[in-house]
Amino acid sequence: MDNDRITRRALVLACLAITASGCSWTAQPWGGAIYSPFAAKPASRYRRRHVRYSGNEPVGTIVVDTSQRYLYSIEDAGWAMRYGVAVGEEGRTLKGTASVGRKEEWPSWTPTANMMQRKPHLRQYAGGVSGGPHNPLGAAALYLYRDGYDSMFRLHGTNEPWTIGQAVSSGCIRLTNEDIVDLYKRTPVGTDVLVL
């Protein structure tokens, strides 16, 4: 056997070793960094940064620039925390204003009927996916509401951080798990959201 080849048995044994070492992937409250040893990081330009912001939105507002793939959490004195995001495929992203109607850590996820029609492979998840690192919504979600009703759009984490900077979702705005945890902590229910 070639020593440079990774076999299925070696991969299974390695995963068991990681599990036995105490590395837990259960849905637990955040106590430290949210990471995955198997995840590629987004390009450096999409990493979270404190930046100057020249818009007129009030402090506390969230602004999503879908063309540039950035989300801004507006702070005082012309500053904002900027996060790289993945956005919806062409024609699938919410536009305009909404507000954060509720928040959830390690949310569960069920694909909508429309998503399953467009992507039949998602039918295997019709019964829902429990919260945790395997879940497409990642570590947290901010649920966007319009006129008191759930718009079905979310600002959420992802189990696919390499998609940050792309137009790949069914309409939601994705952030890395580390970034959604940071945004979640600084965003109260009722926060205004503007999607450009």
Provide the mean pLDDT of the chain.
83
Query: Sorting pLDDT into bands at 50, 70 and 90, what band is 134?
Result: confident
Q: Is the pLDDT of residue 21 over 80?
A: no
Task: Please state, for a pLDDT cut of 90, what percent of the chain lies above it.
Answer: 56
Active-site amino acid positions: 156, 172
Q: Averaged over 3-21, what is the pLDDT? A: 45
Please report, for the chain, how many H helices and E strands are present, in that order.
3, 11
Q: What is the pLDDT of residue 29?
A: 54
Dist CA 139 CA 137 (whole Å): 7
Question: At residue 127, what is the residue type?
Answer: G
Q: Averaged over 87-115, what is the pLDDT? A: 90
Q: What is the pLDDT of residue 170?
A: 80
Q: Is the pLDDT of residue 44 over 60?
A: yes
Q: Is the pLDDT of residue 78 over 60?
A: yes
Q: Is the pLDDT of residue 138 over 50?
A: yes
Q: Of the ranges 3-17, 44-58, 112-126, which one carries the lowest mean pLDDT score?
A: 3-17
Q: Which fold has domain 35-195?
A: L,D-transpeptidase catalytic domain-like (2.40.440)
Domain boundaries, the chain: 35-195
H or E element, residue 15? helix 8-20
Query: How many Cβ atoms are within 10 Å of 74's Cβ, its own excluded?
Result: 21
Mean pLDDT comparison of 77-86, 90-99, 162-171, highest-scoring range: 77-86
Cβ(164)–Cβ(176) below 8 Å: yes
Q: Is the pLDDT of residue 137 over 70?
A: yes
Measured CA to CA in angstroms, residue 24 lies from 20, 90, 105, 157, 177 at distances of 9, 37, 17, 18, 16
Q: Is the pLDDT of residue 169 over 90?
A: no
The three-state secondary structure class of 14 is: helix
